[in-house]
Amino acid sequence: MDSSPNSPGNTVPGSLQTPVVEISAEAKTFNWLLGSFATKTAGVQDAIVVSSDGLLMAKSSNRERADSDRLAAVVSGMASLAVGAAEWYNLGSLNRVVVDITDGYLVVTSISRGSLLGVIASKSANLSTVAYEMTLFGTRAGASLTPGLIAELKNVVQI
């Protein structure tokens, strides 16, 4: 095992035992794309990417990790319910789910390999524009989601 201070799992002296984790260029690019999507799309308040097993892979905000994990569970659950309903009524596969919540919308779409993009949008958001930008994000970022990148993103999601 590499004992250099920058090896994954090692800690930096004086850092209160915060592990140092190297992040690949692909993971950095994926996180940048998500952040760019969230900040540049009018009405988007928060965005997360969830793996096919319901775990948080990436988040756009500095929101507490526990809040993002709860949102990941909701996104995963909504997608599962939508897929079940689509199968039951022979409606095809999941394209997009929109839930009208008190102060905005929860929009969920699949992006690649079973991964999901979940977005919290304000009531003033143009949902057509949000959906279009979500599709663009899925096209750009989804193509890069290899099993290795998915595993890395789940392990290094920003705390």
Higher pLDDT, 16 or 152: 152
- Give the N- to C-terminal CA distance of the chain in Å, as an integer: 25
Closest CA to 83 of 72, 71, 92: 92
Q: Which two tokens stand for residue 31?
A: 């996180």
Measured distance CA(149)–CA(61) in Å, rounded: 20
Question: 11 - beta bridge partners?
Answer: 19
For residue 98, give the nearest of 71, 121, 115 by alpha carbon.
121
* Residue 89 Ramachandran class (φ > 0 left, ψ -120 to 50 alpha, else beta): alpha
What are residue 44's DSSP bridge partners? Answer: 121
pLDDT at 8: 47
CA-CA distance, 39 to 19, in Å (whole number)? 28
* Band of pLDDT at residue 7, cut at 50, 70 and 90: very low
- Give the rounded distance of the alpha carbon of 106 from its chain centre: 13
Query: Residues 12-42: pLDDT tens digits?
Result: 444 455 556 689 999 999 999 999 999 999 9
pLDDT of residue 60: 94
Integer Cα distance of 150 and 51 in angstroms: 7
Q: What is the pLDDT of residue 100?
A: 93
**102: how many CB neighbours lie within 10 A of its CB?**
5
Label residue 154 by pLDDT band (50, 70, 90): very high
pLDDT in tens, 66-119: 999 999 999 999 999 988 888 888 887 767 889 999 999 999 999 987 899 999
- pLDDT band at 3, cuts 50/70/90? very low
Say what the pLDDT of residue 124 is.
97
Q: Are 35 and 111 in contact (CB under 8 A)?
A: no
From the candidate CATH numbers 3.30.420.10, 3.30.450.30, 3.40.109.10, 3.40.1180.10, the one assigned to the domain spanning 25-156: 3.30.450.30
At how many degrees (to 10) do helices 25-40 and 147-156 cross? 70
